[in-house]
Chain A
Amino acid sequence: MSVALEVRVSAARMLTPAVREFTLQSCTGPLPGFSPGSHVQVHLPLTEGKVRNAYSLTSDPADNRHYRIAVRLQEASRGGSHYLHRHVQVGDTLQISPPANLFALHSTAGLHILIAGGIGITPFMAYIAALEQSQAPFELHYVYRSGLSDAYVEELQQRLGSRLHTYACRPDLNHILRDRPLGSHVYTCGPQPLLDAVRQQARALGWPPGRVHWETFSAAKPGQPFDLELLRSGRRLRVGGEQSLLEALESAGLQIPNLCRGGVCGQCMTRHVGGKIEHRDSFLSPAEQAEFLMPCVSRGCGPCVSLDL
């Protein structure tokens, strides 16, 4: 496990009524470099326990003086974004995990087609900085709700000109993906229905999976509290309704490797040996789910779950 970094909030501003941007500076030494598409986990001390939320880095990867993240306020969530919007002030220090990338650019692509929905614009801000520097051909298709989820839109209009295409509702994906030159790759980030639609349309037009890149930003959702039995140590734990299974394990002092905390990267895969599981990940196959679970998002839905830990 990598050691957390301590950063200070050097600036904060509202990009829209629902999106707050933070600029983070290192309290110790230089910040680790990162590649476009990387995210950091921000450690949040909520009253129910420590929560870590993953946010894409929106700043220029070539600039290692600071990181920037943009946080959408999620009212129906466990409170991580609420804490960042309402409680964190300029000058505060935060703990973050070092950058990791699960949504990298395909370096040999001849054309990069970026499709963002709402706050899904965030990884593309770092993409655009890198693509502009390497003078790689790209275009951005940005779907947003005006005055709510339209972060960076004015800046992008000035920077990108005709390479920016904006939409108030789902764009015609057939039009965007049809008859594209051989070197094209498509990247999409946003709400799950947009991601599903892009992947489905690409498949229908004969795009192989290797040309289609996507990232969700789903975090753990609350559920029913349940008991946990750790077979190797014989310990018993209680997982609260607002807490993820991974957070409960971390609170108990266990170090579980993890990167995305959203059920996609596969790092935290753990063997379960008893109890009913509600699988919420998009990593394991149904056959694998019979044996393993992803504690970052999945939960027990019966009285007690036993884990091989």
Chain B
Amino acid sequence: MTDRHCAAPDRLHSLPCYRQPLPRESATRHIVVMQSAAACSPIVGTLEQPLVLNGENADFARRLHQVLVNATVGSHLYIMGDEAFIWRIHGEARSAGLENDEIDITRTLAGSRRVYCVHCGLTQAAGPQPLLNCIGCDVGLEVREHFSQRLGAYLGVCSNPDRPYSGVRP
């Protein structure tokens, strides 16, 4: 779930909050989307007749689209994987009409995250390090503790405005 459900007062509200999902007893259909078999959370075993999609399968993208298009109100989505995967699926689910409180996100893999460059507007995959060079405009970026749910990405801002293209050493 997102940060407004996060009780810890020391966390920034601009950061996503991941946690183990709770079984949604009110939901009439459980849809599990996992990045790989390794990303599976034990919660899946407790759900009643879940529909499980695995990102490793060949027709994953087509099946996911089909499931979301045909889903009805009462469905609950559980996304498991790394940050980049979670927010890509989250974005698809939101555009298909799911609301935030119908989606549980669990980060079960360390993996990659996405960074949005505020200078050229490119969203790119990145590791956990705080500094990187934008692959679009080559500006040395500092990754801020600010996350956009709409973009599914952290904000990347020029780390040295005096020498924006000097490159950063992660």
Contact = CB atoms under 8 A, between A and B. Distances in A.
Contacts of B29: 206
Contacts of A206: 26-29, 73-76
B97 A207 contact: no
A180 B97 CA distance: 11
B26 A182 contact: no
Interface in A174-214: 177-184, 203, 205-208, 210-211
If over half of A's interface residues share one DSSP class (helix, strand or loop), that class is named, otherwise mixed; here it is loop
A182 B77 CA distance: 12
Interface string A151-192: 000000000000000000000000001111111100000000
Interface in B55-94: 68, 71-76
B128 to A, nearest CB: 33
A182 B98 contact: yes
A49 interface: no
Nearest to B70: A181
A182 B68 contact: yes
B72 A208 contact: no
Residue with the greatest number of chain A CB neighbours at <10 A, chosen from B29, B73, B98, B102: B73
A204 B114 CA distance: 38
Contact of B101 (A203, A205, A210): A210
A302 interface: no
If over half of B's interface residues share one DSSP class (helix, strand or loop), that class is named, otherwise mixed; here it is loop
B12 interface: no
B72 A182 contact: yes
**Size band of the interface chain B makes with A:** 10 to 19
A182 B99 CA distance: 9
A108 to B, nearest CB: 8
B72 A180 contact: yes
A204 B163 CA distance: 60
A33 interface: no
Interface in B11-30: 26-29
Contacts of A177: 73
A110 interface: yes
A210 B99 contact: yes
Interface string B37-69: 000000000000000000000000000000010
A205 B26 CA distance: 8
B98 A205 contact: no
A176 B96 CA distance: 21
Given A206-B29, A211-B73, 10 more contacts: A178-B72, A181-B71, A181-B73, A182-B68, A182-B72, A182-B96, A183-B97, A205-B73, A206-B73, A206-B75
